[in-house]
Structure 1
Amino acid sequence: MKILSFIHCEVLKVLRSSVFWIVIVAFATMPIMLGLVTYINAVDAGWEPYLTDLLGTNTALLVIGFSFTACWVFGREYTDKTISELLVKPVSKLYVALSKFIVIFLWDVLLVFFMFAVVCIMGILIGLNGGTWLLITNSFLTFMAASLLTMVVSTISALLANVSKGYLAPIGLAFLIVVISNVVAQAGLAAYFPWTIPALFISNVHLGIVSIVILAITGIVGFIGTIAWWSFTEQQ
């Protein structure tokens, strides 16, 4: 029950922050703009290419968005100067870190559902053809799976937020990753760069064991490193 109180506290921090609503608006704006620009005047446009195009394009937004949620939940403790209070209180630092990761996960899942809903509503308003429940369900499951893979690698942003004691460095890293991802993809090395692997999955590219191992190692380093930082590192 103790960890539930930590989770409740972290949820309140997120919901009472203007950042939560800013992220919501950002996740709605991108698919709306892409849908309007690309498909508003398209003749006989279908749901299948629409979903494939928009969901695939929005993977870059997931990288930035999930990196931001991860680094903000941890980094705000440093920018708001509340980290010292957390460290001196007689509470489990493990529970604090775990509760933050759980809230990050819940926030990211909410964003995935919200973005997919916006994409579908846009498709209905545009008047796309050939939409079926099976197509939409399969697209959502693929999008969710790719999103979960992106959440795994976003743990690095949480670790960097703690190491750099703020969220500016990991936000900068997220934008740098998007640039590097384009270069890596053009070089044919997307299967070996953690942040481009989810994009391959959503494009129905088979992931080899090497890609899976790279994803797993990246996620473990970010998660375990963050837990270790909170549990063992003496911070000022």
Structure 2
Amino acid sequence: MNYFIAALRVEIYKLRRSLVPWLTLLFVMAVVSQEVGQPDWHSYLSGAVYRFTILGSIGFGFLTSWLFGREYADRTLKDLLALPVSRLNMVLAKYAAVLVSCVLISVVLFVYVLGLGMIVGLPGLSVDMIWQAFGVFGLTAVFNMLLCTLVAFIACWSRGWLAPIGFVFLTLVSALILGPSPVGPYVPWAIPALQTLHFSSGGTGMAGVGILHGASYTILLVTGAVGFAGTLAWWRYTDQR
């Protein structure tokens, strides 16, 4: 446990010294700010959550790509592996650092969304609406974090951060194209957006959009588990050159 804590501190220090988390936060804040012109709180929160779900996945993916791929791009991997810390602890520390960063970004962003709406003076706000929006906001953030495990694996497999960023944009396009189709509930990258659409429609669903069910969430969990296990296996069994 002590080795894991030490490795986690190093990863957190890297993030603190980098502009990547701050640029990610500013990018998502700029995106959701475009919804401030909505006529009421429900429309505003629905649009903000949807934008966060779609384009926030880019921010989370970019953050994950950088944290897992920078060791290859900066050629510091050999120095990292020379430390008296197991590869398992290194991978877990990187994932924990991604988790902490994404949670903080999500919390700060939600507070920003509420504050911006209050400053503008939108009508129709209620405590129940805030809790519902917070629940969907947090749930879709967790979904996007689960999907980031595949991004981490591709960063390790490709030994860099360009390929995983390309993968993030590819999955975004696939989600936008396949999400409204009948196969949308079975496409992992479309599931977070479909979840937010159910919130926007008041839980009744939308015409032409597939309804999420148990299999959808199972597919999402399996996708996250495959990416996580693949990253661990890559670090454990593949020669680091």
Q: In the alignment, what sits opposite 2:229?
A: 224
Q: Which residue number corresponds to residue 84 of structure 2? A: 90
Residue 141 of structure 1, CA deviation: 1.4
Compute the displacement of 1:118 (Å). Answer: 1.9
**1:159-194 CA distance string (max 9 Å, x none):** 000000011011111112111111102333210110
Distance (Å, rounded) in 1 between the aligned partners of 2:217 and 2:84: 39
Q: Larger deviation: 51-60 or 71-80?
A: 51-60
Are 1:65 and 2:66 counterparts? no
Q: Number of aligned residue pairs: give it.
A: 229
Q: Does 1:197 align with 2:191?
A: yes
Deviation at 1:101, TM superposition (A): 0.3
Displacement of 1:124 in angstroms is: 1.2
- Which of 148, 162, 187 is equivalent to 1:154? 148
Cα distance per residue 1:88-129 (max 9 Å; x no partner): 333211000000000100101111112212211221122101
1:42 equivalent in structure 2: none
Runs of 4 or more above 6 Å deviation: none
Residue equivalent to 2:48: 54
Q: Determine if the alignment matches structure 1 residue 35 to structure 2 residue 35.
A: yes
Alignment-mate amino acid for residue 35 of structure 1: E
- Checking the alignment, whether the CA contact within 8 Å between 1:70 and 1:158 is kept in structure 2 is yes
User: 1:215 — aligned with what?
Assistant: 220
Structure 1: segments with no counterpart, 5+ residues: 40-44
Letter in 2 for 1:225: G
* Matched residue SS, 2:189: coil
Q: Are 1:21 and 2:26 matched, yes or no?
A: no
2:184 and 2:165 map into 1 onto residues whose CA distance is 21
Displacement after TM superposition at 1:58 (Å)? 2.2
Deviations 1:130-174 (A, max 9, x none): 112221122111110111011111110000000000110111111
Please report the TM-score for the alignment, with normalisation by the length of structure 1. 0.92
Moved more, 179-188 or 215-224: 179-188
Aligned-partner residue type, residue 86 of structure 1: L
Match of 1:145 in 2: 139
SS at match of 1:203: helix
Matched-pair contact (CA < 8 Å) for 2:175–2:187: yes
- RMSD of Structure 2 on Structure 1 (CA): 1.4
Counterpart Cα distance in 2 of 1:64 and 1:126: 27
Alpha-carbon distance between aligned partners in 2 of 1:21 and 1:58, rounded to the nearest angstrom: 16
Given residue 14 of structure 1, which amino acid in structure 2 is its aligned partner?
Answer: L
Structure 2: state its 5+ residue gaps: 199-204, 206-210
The answer (yes or no) to whether the contact 1:31–1:118 under 8 Å persists in 2 is no
CA contact (8 A) 2:4 2:93 kept: yes
Equivalent position amino acid for 1:92 in 2: S
1:183 aligns with 2:177: yes
Determine the C-alpha separation between the residues in 2 that align with 1:218 and 1:51. 28
Assess if the C-alpha contact under 8 Å between 2:3 and 2:85 holds in 1.
Answer: no
Between the aligned residues of both structures, percent identity stands at 34
> Once the two structures are superposed, what CA deviation does each residue of 1:15-52 show, in whole Å capped at 9, x if it has no partner?
101222211211221112x124x43xxxxx22112111
C-alpha contact 1:35 1:122 (8 A) present in aligned 2: no
Paired with 1:190 and 1:5, the residues of 2 have a C-alpha distance of 41
C-alpha distance in 2 between matches for 1:74 and 1:53: 31
CA contact (8 A) 2:35 2:47 kept: no
Shift of 1:231: 1.5
**Quick one: distance in 2 between partners of 1:57 and 1:74?**
25
Local SS of the residue matching 2:123: coil
Q: Residue type matched to 1:65 in 2?
A: G
